[in-house]
Amino acid sequence: MTVILFRLFLLTAIVIIIYSVIKYFLDPRRKLEAAHNQGGFYLLDDPENVRKNLLFTYRNVMFEGEKFLGATDDSFEVTSIIISTEDTDELKGLSKKDFHFIEKEILIHYPKAEIDWRSPIKQLVKRNN
């Protein structure tokens, strides 16, 4: 009887370990961190939840976008996104072209949204537009 219980316990432990490994590799936050470390672009967002901010990384800079719901012609959509970053020192080397690329990528997901940047990015994007 104890041998059967031990085997059942061992099988349960193996299933839990396999489930944990699969869950780890499919976690979107891990993908965000990997893209951040590699310097790529990755957008982490829950489009169904307006209250949840969107997180994205581009060229080793982590950004956060706050979404706001508003009325459009025929429905309620995300109409405004305010983007900021906590570590402004990491912005070194980014150009206006990079921020236009980010805006274009976000507008793919939220075509009716107006994107606003927080300082100091706002001064760069608005200059000579």
User: Which band of pLDDT confidence, cut at 50, 70 and 90, is reported for residue 64?
Assistant: very high
Q: Over the stretch 66-122, which tens digit does the pLDDT of each residue have?
A: 999 888 888 888 889 999 888 888 888 888 888 889 999 999 999 888 999 888 888
DSSP E strand boundaries for 27-127: 42-44, 54-58, 61-71, 76-84, 114-117
Task: Map out the domains of the chain as residue ranges.
Answer: 29-126
Residues 6+ apart with CB under 8 A from 28: 44
Query: How confident is the model at residue 56, as a pLDDT?
Result: 92
Report pTM: 0.75
